[in-house]
């Protein structure tokens, strides 16, 4: 540690000496303003003195100031997406208007702490997307918009609908315990990303994650810093890389004092449908023939007779009446359940300013109805960004975003009232569309008969009418959130000192209503079991209040020390406080219940109302420094250092240092003036970087086991003391090692950015190698240890991989036709290197039905671990007597949710304002655990259950074991498929059989837009008109064996680590619509 | 420049923000959401309730299926796996976790009571831990014992406890009971009161509990190690022990509240009061043939007043609802009737105690009075235990009901007072089986495993493993996926240590 401090100290000394050198120059100051094509101030443009390597970057208003040697100088102005300009200094003033140009690898970029720099400086990979590229597919989630556009990112969008969860992992999972999502940074300030999802593996109500609150239309650009090298200055929070979002700011025009206000209005309308339905068998309907039952009208089984299309009665006989229908396949009637989702998105923004101040105000609304009846998502947000330059060198800025969202979603998982579970339990011959009218007694879940008895008339005896579940299981979420940052600074020439306060305050309330129902079947004959539907009804409210506070005090110094040598230094201090409070109040239908039905109030309780609260405090402070040196705009070298102190680790382990360094060499500078550079390779850079990022524990992980009030849980029931007023406390099942050490990721990367044929072909390639040590994890303990988990430093995980981005322009004609092709390729090899204490593997999430998702030594993070069918030399081992496969003695490792590779490819075709955009993405080689498959096998609706017409057959390539010997003989005993699908596979005896190939190819985005040329409305109030049609998540091709679900759907929420698991998750959606954009 | 200076500089910045002390600023990592300490009064009921939950729910259901009191309602499939003899490992997770959690809390209670010199709490924790471990090892065979419960760092952080043979566990729990007796004999002014949910702190009854438990433990070893079993019984009787008699039953009583209801009923509420449990014909037919009035106690009659069971594992709906009986509210088996909430959970009963004593007498291991007398006392104790239920369902007094039963043309009441030990055992254990119907299902199944009685159990019609019976619980996945010392799966049909039948 002392050595580290010395290095930090050295930086200060360097800084000081740089300042002294500055006085030795014979210079004058040039000031100027860089503006864009709309004559608005352009921040972040690079300004260089030609022939030298002196340079600076324009500030938030487009202004810059540069010390240059005396004489008349020529400057080179560069900015992302704009043509490079050369101008001669006139009376110490340089004003430049930029002209847009095609994409290339040069330009400016936003890096850690919101600093703008030139992209050529960076010694690490960073991907920048401007608003147009980001929102081409018009997704309502900014994170989903990144899909397929960033090499190195693994993005999973659970539903694709408004408000759904989106998970973004950069360069592979690095932590077993903690959230592996990339840090989301808005205008330089960390934002909170938490799941609103009620997600344990059995029950989910997915309200999405809070990172999706940011409206894509407010975004000016996004820079993805893939590696920890890029994010080292964010400390522990940046260990997973960072997504830097820059929101739109006001700009003022330079043409005189009469400033014009820009007004943009955009409206889009989107329709949504379920993208992929499970594929059913089409030959057998309701019944349980193999259990000897021919008429089984209340059953969820599709194990009946083959279809004969004969019209027969079905469902309950109510007052002597019964419905009739042909006994025939309903051709995937699940489609009849879902509505078309509708989404109306309105956006209006005003921006303007004068010489001293700018402002930007936007209003956004999303009003949508989901595909499941009664679900909706409404969001309203307001953003204000303002800057002002005071006369005495002080300046300040404000960014504030207020977000209000209100949504309702359906139950998922094994929740009572889970819509998908109910749908999957409807036999193949039942017309789902006819179940919609809940006023019909035949569909009703609760009506009162002439004797005053509450009855249900719905055909199903085991799961309720999905329309009823969607209507009465009512889950809502309301969120009010304010996030923003406030800056006061002082800038004079080379020195800039500022303090930035960042805030993210959220008040998040979720309400879960469970209807009371106590009914028996209307049909009291032998077809319906004596029990009906009973639920005492319940009401649960969870209030989550979150306060994140950040304070950065930063000083920067930018100076050109000599003609060739410049320095850009920063020192700062950060204080971070994260405080969360959860207050949950619950009338649990299982241990309590409502007195008066449909009255959802905490006074309406049968027993004591269960209240619980949880407080979480996490604090850090840090000192950091970042010094960049440049030499002749050709060689760049950056050194970063940060020391952080954390509240979550014990004194002695809670101070850790992050060193980092990277370098870039723009080697094409050596080729200046050559034909090779002119004609072949116009830009080339080699970069190399390394960094170490430490990461602390979650709050309280290193605590000893405390004591909690008991909750005595059986398989399905629960008793909550005080028991006859006797309180009962038991020891916690989790504890931690007091002396937990911080996790440490060390990464190095090497890469190159190349641009050929005057930017007609660009390529960016990166290889990275990182190793995370001392992973902090709650290791599952055998229950016989008396505990279930303990937090320890458990081992190392490595991620190695390549990131490749390519873009080419095969056609670019003088008359305006342009054709671009682009793509990315990501290959990440994740490996659990070692685990301590004789542990071979650790579960990364809950076990469900015998399936664990684990981190196992020598395997990728997220490997599936479960009992499978036993194999001997490639033969399935069966029981000689029954012919049924035998399960393995111990669980086995079988594949992982990590894709082997991901890729995307797309094309843009544009001609005079018309633009056609198309993007495909793919992930190949992963697997997912699909509980829906298990259910479909059990009820007999999956296609695999009709193998051999459901007649007994011999398990393919099977053997049986002779006694207890190691001797196996070929098997000839046939097994009854019904027994296998219902009692073995469908009953989770061999959970590994539920793994499904997760590979897919997806048409991610397709859009056609037209920017109407200005000449048609030059003399009107309009400043721009654009309209288009678009679609996202349009088409999906999955592996042949995946007849079940979109492999991207997940049940664990965005921040959970047990990914690759689908238990009746919300279906993913195909979205398509049209938009119009008007500017004044 | 050393670290202190850097640290002080950082601290200066905090001052600027109005934060007064760096140490205080970071000192927020003591979990405010849990209590740092417990008291003996809160640990004891928690651990007892965990035992009650396992004994009342999973052990009761699995035992009652495999002792053939109950079978799965063909109208649903919740427990079909039990009748199929094809249970996945995951079905055994909850009882394993709860029983080890109970043992852990008894262990914590012992340590806390030890540090506070509360000897009666120490004694109760030892007795209950012994009870708990006997259930664990009788269910699963070889299990972690000597290295178990020591997961915490302060206890040595034994993260992969080794599996001990069942004999080692038995020797350990016998030693536990002996230690408990030494603590019990000490006068101690600190008594548990209502926090002892079983005996309310009555230490005399805990002594009887310990004696009866020892008897049960020794008799379980009667086939595998008769010499040790006999020696143990002889030594026990040498102390002139008193055993659990009527009124001393070790039970946890439950009530109507959501916070104190019978755990089996709570479990049934958890599956929306679906009536999965129904009467098995094995028991109902046998009780019918004996004119057993306890049918009224353990099952609900049909509208006709008759009692009808479904053949064990018969999974076809030709039996429609209303044509078969279901377990009664007195064994918490009627999911739709809130009175099930009041059923007690029996841990060690007076009739069990008397049947054990009758067996000792039949074996002539100790001079404890007439085996036939003890046999009838045991039946009497069972009737007595359910006196209120008999009165409520039949209107009869215990005496009336018992004499009707004994005088009826029943086979199983004609005790062969002059018969062989084997003949006597057949009667004792079979009557014990009748007595434990749905109220001590696990013990009945366990005694069937030990003795083979009753000898008229049938193979489940749903069995997918042919003509074999389940003989143990499977190790749960929580153990097989995490314990480096996990010995591998012992199949459902493999016998535990003392099972020679």
Residues A531-542 have pLDDT tens digits of: 688 888 999 999
Which residues are paired to A189 by β-bridges? A186
Pairwise pLDDT comparison (A265 vs A206), residue with the higher score = A265
Residue B329 contacts by C-beta under 8 Å, 6 or more apart in sequence? B300, B337, B339, B340, B342, B343
Q: From CA A587, how far away is CA A602, in angstroms rounded?
A: 7
Inform me whether the pLDDT recorded for A24 exceeds 70. Answer: no
Name the token pair of A7: 């290095």
Say if CB A30 and CB A63 are below 8 A apart.
no
In terms of Cβ atoms closer than 10 Å to its own Cβ (0-12, 13-18, 19+), residue A584 is: middle
Q: pLDDT digits over B398-451, tens only?
A: 999 999 998 877 778 889 989 999 999 999 999 999 999 999 999 999 999 999
Query: Does A579 contact B at CB distance below 8 Å?
Result: no
State pTM to two decimals: 0.83
Rounded to a whole number of angstroms, the distance from the CA of A50 to the nearest CA of chain B is: 41
Pairwise pLDDT comparison (A771 vs A124), residue with the higher score = A771
Instruction: Lowest mean pLDDT of A10-19, A731-740, A803-812, A905-914, name the range.
Output: A10-19
Query: Can you tell me which residue has the tokens 């709570």?
Result: B266
Instruction: Calculate mean pLDDT across residues B137-161.
Output: 94
- Give residue A166's pLDDT: 77
Alpha-carbon Rg of chain A, whole angstroms? 32
Q: From CA A916, how far away is CA A911, in angstroms rounded?
A: 9
DSSP for residue A740:
P
Q: At what angle do helices B166-184 and B119-140 cross, to 10 degrees?
A: 160
Residues of B in contact with A500 (CB under 8 A): none
- Give residue A15's pLDDT: 44
Using alpha carbons only, what angle is made at residue A993 by residues A167 and B487, rounded to the nearest 5 degrees? 100
Instruction: Calculate mean pLDDT across residues B283-294.
Output: 94
Q: From CA B126, how far away is CA B107, in angstroms rounded?
A: 8
Q: Report CB contact under 8 Å: B97, A788.
A: yes
- Give residue A170's pLDDT: 79
Other CB atoms within 10 Å distance of the CB of residue A378 = 18
Inform me whether the pLDDT recorded for A440 exceeds 90. Answer: yes
Alpha-carbon Rg of chain B, whole angstroms? 25
Instruction: Calculate mean pLDDT across residues A944-970.
Output: 91
Nearest beta carbon to residue A723 from set B14, B259, B315: B259
Rounded to a whole number of angstroms, the distance from the CA of B123 to the nearest CA of chain A is: 19
Other CB atoms within 10 Å distance of the CB of residue A1035 = 14
Instruction: Lowest mean pLDDT of A140-154, A917-931, B179-193, name the range.
Output: A140-154
End-to-end CA gap in chain A: 58
User: What confidence tier does A66 reach under pLDDT thresholds 50, 70, 90?
Assistant: confident
Query: Does A810 contact B at CB distance below 8 Å?
Result: no
DSSP for residue A293:
B
Alpha-carbon dihedral A812, A815, A817, A820, rounded to 10 degrees: 20
Q: From CA A994, how far away is CA A1077, in angstroms rounded?
A: 47
In terms of Cβ atoms closer than 10 Å to its own Cβ (0-12, 13-18, 19+), residue B5 is: exposed
Beta-carbon contacts below 8 Å between A and B: 374
User: What confidence tier does A1055 reach under pLDDT thresholds 50, 70, 90?
Assistant: low
Say if CB A235 and CB A644 are below 8 A apart.
yes
- Helix and strand numbers (H, E) in chain A are 8, 69
Nearest beta carbon to residue A623 from set B9, B269, B479: B9
Q: pLDDT digits over A803-820, tens only?
A: 999 999 999 888 889 999
Query: Does A739 contact B at CB distance below 8 Å?
Result: no
Pairwise pLDDT comparison (B166 vs A779), residue with the higher score = B166
Q: Report CB contact under 8 Å: B10, A621.
A: yes
Q: At what angle do helices B119-140 and B441-451 cross, to 10 degrees?
A: 60
Taking the CA atoms of A700, A701, A707 and A708 in sequence, report the sign of the dihedral they define.
positive
Name the token pair of A765: 């390639």
What's the length of chain B?
501
Q: From CA B249, how far away is CA B260, in angstroms rounded?
A: 19
Say if CB B34 and CB A732 are below 8 A apart.
yes
Contacts 24+ apart (CB under 8 A), A257-263: A257/A354, A257/A355, A259/A352, A259/A353, A259/A354, A260/A352, A261/A350, A261/A351, A261/A352, A262/A38, A262/A40, A262/A349, A262/A350, A262/A351, A262/A352, A262/A1023, A262/A1079, A262/A1080, A263/A348, A263/A349, A263/A350, A263/A1079, A263/A1080
Say if CB A135 and CB A180 are below 8 A apart.
no
Pairwise pLDDT comparison (B41 vs B256), residue with the higher score = B41
- Give residue A423's pLDDT: 94
Residues of B in contact with A843 (CB under 8 A): 481-482
Residues of B in contact with A735 (CB under 8 A): 151-153
Residue A936 contacts by C-beta under 8 Å, 6 or more apart in sequence? A278, A280, A424, A942, A945, A1044
Pairwise pLDDT comparison (A846 vs A174), residue with the higher score = A174
Which H/E stretch holds residue B47?
helix B40-56
User: What confidence tier does A201 reach under pLDDT thresholds 50, 70, 90?
Assistant: low
Which H/E stretch holds residue A769?
strand A761-773
Q: From CA B347, how far away is CA B248, in angstroms rounded?
A: 11
Of A912, A895, A768, A885, give the one whose Cα is nearest residue A827: A768
User: How are strands ordered across the β-sheet holding A995-997?
Assistant: A995-997, A927-930, A1061-1062
- Give residue A236's pLDDT: 73
Of B70, B494, B501, give the one whose Cα is nearest residue B275: B70
Q: From CA A207, how far away is CA A510, in angstroms rounded?
A: 9
Q: From CA A170, how far away is CA A185, in angstroms rounded?
A: 14
Inform me whether the pLDDT recorded for B229 exceeds 50. Answer: yes
Q: Report CB contact under 8 Å: A787, B151.
A: yes
Across chain A, mean pLDDT equals: 85
- In B58-189, alpha helices (H): 58-66, 80-84, 93-115, 119-140, 166-184
Q: Which residue in chain A has the smallest CA separation from B22?
A: A621
- Give residue B5's pLDDT: 56
Pairwise pLDDT comparison (A135 vs B302), residue with the higher score = B302
Query: Can you tell me which residue has the tokens 């929102």?
Result: A135
Using alpha carbons only, what angle is made at residue A719 by residues A717 and A725, rounded to the nearest 5 degrees? 165
Which among B29, B152, B480 is the top mutation candidate for probing chain A, defined by the most A β-carbons within 10 Å of its own β-carbon? B29
Q: Report CB contact under 8 Å: A6, B1.
A: yes
Say if CB A923 and CB A896 are below 8 A apart.
no
User: What confidence tier does A103 reach under pLDDT thresholds 50, 70, 90?
Assistant: very low
Which H/E stretch holds residue B448?
helix B441-451
Say if CB B353 and CB B245 are below 8 A apart.
yes
Q: Which residue in chain B has the smallest CA separation from A523?
A: B321
Inform me whether the pLDDT recorded for A865 exceeds 60. Answer: yes
Residues of A in contact with B97 (CB under 8 A): 783, 788
Q: pLDDT digits over A210-263, tens only?
A: 877 888 888 888 888 887 665 667 777 777 888 888 888 887 554 444 456 789
Pairwise pLDDT comparison (A419 vs A558), residue with the higher score = A419
Using alpha carbons only, what angle is made at residue A947 by residues A946 and A949, rounded to the nearest 5 degrees? 65
Q: pLDDT digits over B312-355, tens only?
A: 998 775 566 678 999 999 999 999 898 999 999 999 999 999 99
Of B246, B221, B465, B252, give the one whose Cα is nearest residue B343: B252
Instruction: Calculate mean pLDDT across residues A488-508.
Output: 91
Name the token pair of B232: 């143990």
Across chain B, mean pLDDT equals: 91
Query: Does A652 contact B at CB distance below 8 Å?
Result: no
Q: pLDDT digits over A727-783, tens only?
A: 999 999 999 999 999 988 888 999 999 999 888 899 999 999 989 899 888 888 899
Say if CB B343 and CB B254 are below 8 A apart.
yes
Inform me whether the pLDDT recorded for A83 exceeds 90. Answer: no
Name the token pair of B447: 């005694």
Query: Does A716 contact B at CB distance below 8 Å?
Result: yes
Residues of A in contact with B477 (CB under 8 A): 847, 850, 852, 867, 891
Query: Can you tell me which residue has the tokens 């069990």?
Result: B352
- Give residue A21's pLDDT: 42
- Max alpha carbon distance in chain A (Å)? 105
Residue B403 contacts by C-beta under 8 Å, 6 or more apart in sequence? none
Query: Does A846 contact B at CB distance below 8 Å?
Result: no
Name the token pair of A285: 């309907």
Which among B27, B30, B33 is the top mutation candidate for probing chain A, defined by the most A β-carbons within 10 Å of its own β-carbon? B33
Query: Does A738 contact B at CB distance below 8 Å?
Result: yes
């Amino acid at each position: 540690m002392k050595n580290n401090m010395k290095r930090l100290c050295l930086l200060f000394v360097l800084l000081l000496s740089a300042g002294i050198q500055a006085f030795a120059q014979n210079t004058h100051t040039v000031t100027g303003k860089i503006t864009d094509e709309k004559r608005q101030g352009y921040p972040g443009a690079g300004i260089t003195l030609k022939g030298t390597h002196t340079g600076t970057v324009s500030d938030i208003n487009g202004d810059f100031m540069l010390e240059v040697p005396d004489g008349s100088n020529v400057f080179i102005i560069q900015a992302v997406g704009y043509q490079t300009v050369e101008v001669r200094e006139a009376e110490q003033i340089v004003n430049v208007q930029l002209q847009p140009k095609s994409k290339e690898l040069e330009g400016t970029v936003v890096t850690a702490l919101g600093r703008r720099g030139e992209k050529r400086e960076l010694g690490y990979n960073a991907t920048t997307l401007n608003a147009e590229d980001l929102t081409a597919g018009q997704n309502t989630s900014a994170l989903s918009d990144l899909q397929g556009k960033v090499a190195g990112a693994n993005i999973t969008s659970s539903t694709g609908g408004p408000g759904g969860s989106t998970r973004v992992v950069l360069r592979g999972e690095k932590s077993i315990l903690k959230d592996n999502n990339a840090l989301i940074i808005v205008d330089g300030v960390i934002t909170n990303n938490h799941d609103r999802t009620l997600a344990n593996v059995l029950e989910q109500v997915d309200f999405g994650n809070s990172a999706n609150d940011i409206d894509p239309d407010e975004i000016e650009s996004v820079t993805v810093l893939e590696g920890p090298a890029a994010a080292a200055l964010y400390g522990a929070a940046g260990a997973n890389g960072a997504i830097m979002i820059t929101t739109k700011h006001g700009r003022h025009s330079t043409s005189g004092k009469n400033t014009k206000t820009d007004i943009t209005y955009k409206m889009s309308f989107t329709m949504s449908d379920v993208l992929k339905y499970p594929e059913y068998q089409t030959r057998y309907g309701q019944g349980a023939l193999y259990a000897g039952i021919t008429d089984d009208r209340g059953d969820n089984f599709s194990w009946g007779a083959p279809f004969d299309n004969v019209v027969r009665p079905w469902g309950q006989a109510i007052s002597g009446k019964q419905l009739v229908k042909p006994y025939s396949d309903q051709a995937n009637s699940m489609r009849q359940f879902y509505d078309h989702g509708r989404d109306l998105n309105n956006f209006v923004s005003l921006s303007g300013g004068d010489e001293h101040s700018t402002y930007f105000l936007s209003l956004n609304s999303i009003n949508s109805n989901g595909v499941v009846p009664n679900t909706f998502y409404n969001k309203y947000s307001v953003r204000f960004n303002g800057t002002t330059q005071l006369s005495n060198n002080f300046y300040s800025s404000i960014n504030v975003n207020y977000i209000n969202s209100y949504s309702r979603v359906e139950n998922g998982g094994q929740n009572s009232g889970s819509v998908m579970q109910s749908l999957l339990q409807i036999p193949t011959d039942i017309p789902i569309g006819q179940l919609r009218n809940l006023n019909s007694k035949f569909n009703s879940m609760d009506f009162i008969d002439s004797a005053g008895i509450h009855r249900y008339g719905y055909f199903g005896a085991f799961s309720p009418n999905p329309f009823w579940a969607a209507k009465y299981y009512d889950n809502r979420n309301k969120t009010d959130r304010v996030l923003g940052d406030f800056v006061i600074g002082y800038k004079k020439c080379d020195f800039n000192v500022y303090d930035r306060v960042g805030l993210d305050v959220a008040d998040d309330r979720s309400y879960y209503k469970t209807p009371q129902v106590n009914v028996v079947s209307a049909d009291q004959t032998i077809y319906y079991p004596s029990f009906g539907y009973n639920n005492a009804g319940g009401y649960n409210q969870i209030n989550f209040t979150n306060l994140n506070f950040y304070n950065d005090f930063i000083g920067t110094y930018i100076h050109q020390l000599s003609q060739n040598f410049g320095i850009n230094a920063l020192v700062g201090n950060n204080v971070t406080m994260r405080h969360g409070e959860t207050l949950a109040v619950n009338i649990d239908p299982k241990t309590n219940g409502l007195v008066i039905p449909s009255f959802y109030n905490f006074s309406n309780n049968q027993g004591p109302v269960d209240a619980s609260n949880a407080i979480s405090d996490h604090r850090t402070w840090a000192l950091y420094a970042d010094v960049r040196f440049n030499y002749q705009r050709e060689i760049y070298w950056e050194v970063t250092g940060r020391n952080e102190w954390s509240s979550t680790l014990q004194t002695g382990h809670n101070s850790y240092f992050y060193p980092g360094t990277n370098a870039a060499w723009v080697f094409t500078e050596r080729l200046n003036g050559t034909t090779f550079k002119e004609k072949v390779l116009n830009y080339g850079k080699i970069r190399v970087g390394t960094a170490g990022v430490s990461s602390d524990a979650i709050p309280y992980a290193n605590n000893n086991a405390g004591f909690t009030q008991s909750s005595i849980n059986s398989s399905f029931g629960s008793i909550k003391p005080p028991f006859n007023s006797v309180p009962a406390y038991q020891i916690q099942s989790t504890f931690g090692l007091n002396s937990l050490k911080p996790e440490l990721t060390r990464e190095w990367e090497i890469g190159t950015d190349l641009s050929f044929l005057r930017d007609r072909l660009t390529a960016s390639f990166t290889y990275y190698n990182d190793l995370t040590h001392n992973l902090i994890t709650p290791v599952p303990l055998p229950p016989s240890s008396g505990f279930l988990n303990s937090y320890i430093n458990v081992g190392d995980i490595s991620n190695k991989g390549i990131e490749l981005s390519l873009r080419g322009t095969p056609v670019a004609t003088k008359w305006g036709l342009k054709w671009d092709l682009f793509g990315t390729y990501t290959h990440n090899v994740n490996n659990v290197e070692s685990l301590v204490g004789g542990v071979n593997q650790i579960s990364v999430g809950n076990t469900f039905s015998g399936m664990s998702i684990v981190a196992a030594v020598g395997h990728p993070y997220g490997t599936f671990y479960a009992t499978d069918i036993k194999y001997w030399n490639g033969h399935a081992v069966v029981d000689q007597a029954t012919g049924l496969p035998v399960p393995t003695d111990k669980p086995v490792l079988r594949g992982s949710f990590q894709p082997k590779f991901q890729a995307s490819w797309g094309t843009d075709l544009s001609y005079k304002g018309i633009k056609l955009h198309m993007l495909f993405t793919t992930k190949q080689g992963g697997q997912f655990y699909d509980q829906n498959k298990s259910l479909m096998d059990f009820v007999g609706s999956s296609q695999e259950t009709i193998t051999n017409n459901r007649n007994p057959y011999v398990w393919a390539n099977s053997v049986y074991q002779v006694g207890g010997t190691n001797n196996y003989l070929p098997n000839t005993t046939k097994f009854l498929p019904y027994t296998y699908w219902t009692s073995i596979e469908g009953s989770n005896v061999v959970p590994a059989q539920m793994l499904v190939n997760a590979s897919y190819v997806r048409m991610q985005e397709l859009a056609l837009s037209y920017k109407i040329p200005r000449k048609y409305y030059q003399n009107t109030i309009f400043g721009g008109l654009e309209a288009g049609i678009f679609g996202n998540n349009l088409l999906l091709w999955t592996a042949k064996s995946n007849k079940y679900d979109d492999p991207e759907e997940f049940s664990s929420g965005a921040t959970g680590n047990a990914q690759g698991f689908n238990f009746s998750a919300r279906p993913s959606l195909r979205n398509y619509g049209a938009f119009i954009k008007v500017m004044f | 420049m050393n670290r202190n200076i850097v640290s002080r500089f950082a601290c200066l910045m905090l001052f600027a923000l109005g934060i007064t002390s760096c140490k205080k600023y970071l000192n927020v990592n003591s979990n405010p959401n849990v209590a740092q300490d417990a008291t003996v009064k809160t640990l004891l009921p928690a651990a007892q309730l965990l035992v009650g939950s396992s004994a009342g729910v999973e052990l009761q259901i699995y035992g009652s299926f495999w002792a053939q009191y109950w079978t799965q309602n063909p109208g649903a499939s919740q427990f079909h796996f039990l009748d199929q003899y094809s249970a996945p490992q995951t079905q055994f997770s909850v009882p394993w976790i709860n029983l080890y959690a109970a043992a852990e809390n008894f262990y914590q209670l012992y340590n806390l009571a030890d540090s506070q010199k509360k000897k009666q709490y120490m004694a109760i924790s030892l007795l209950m831990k012994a009870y708990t471990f006997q259930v664990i090892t009788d269910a699963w065979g070889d299990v972690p014992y000597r290295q178990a419960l020591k997961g915490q760092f302060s206890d040595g952080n034994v993260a992969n406890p080794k599996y001990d043979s069942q004999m080692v566990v038995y020797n350990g729990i016998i030693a536990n009971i002996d230690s408990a007796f030494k603590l019990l004999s000490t006068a101690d002014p600190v008594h548990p009161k209502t926090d002892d949910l079983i005996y309310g702190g009555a230490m005399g009854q805990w002594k009887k509990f310990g004696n009866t438990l020892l008897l049960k433990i020794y008799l379980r070893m009667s086939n595998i190690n008769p010499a040790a079993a006999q020696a143990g019984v002889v030594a026990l009787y040498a102390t002139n022990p008193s055993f659990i008699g009527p009124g001393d039953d070790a039970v946890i009583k439950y009530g109507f509240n959501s916070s104190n209801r019978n755990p089996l009923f709570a479990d049934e509420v958890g599956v929306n009061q679906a009536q999965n449990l129904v009467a098995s014909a094995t028991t109902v037919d046998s009780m019918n043939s004996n004119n057993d009035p306890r049918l009224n106690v353990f099952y609900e009659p049909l509208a006709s007043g008759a009692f009808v069971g479904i053949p064990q594992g018969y999974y076809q709906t030709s039996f429609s609802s209303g044509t078969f009986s279901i377990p009664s509210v007195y064994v918490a088996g009627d999911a739709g009737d809130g009175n099930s909430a009041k059923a007690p959970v029996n841990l060690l009963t007076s009739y069990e105690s008397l049947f054990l004593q009758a067996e000792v007498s039949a074996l002539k291991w100790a001079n404890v009075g007439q085996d036939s007398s003890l046999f009838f006392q045991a039946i009497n104790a069972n009737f007595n235990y359910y006196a209120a239920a008999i009165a409520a369902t039949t209107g009869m007094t215990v005496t009336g009901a018992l004499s009707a039963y004994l005088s009826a043309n029943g086979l199983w009441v004609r005790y062969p007072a002059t018969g062989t030990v084997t003949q006597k055992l057949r009667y004792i254990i079979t009557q014990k089986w009748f007595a434990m119907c749905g109220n001590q299902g696990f013990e009945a199944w366990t005694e069937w495993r030990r003795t083979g009685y009753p000898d008229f159990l049938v193979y489940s019609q749903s069995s997918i493993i042919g003509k074999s019976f389940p003989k143990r619980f499977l190790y749960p996945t929580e153990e097989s996926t995490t314990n480096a010392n996990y010995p591998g799966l012992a199949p459902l049909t493999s016998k535990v240590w003392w099972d020679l039948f």
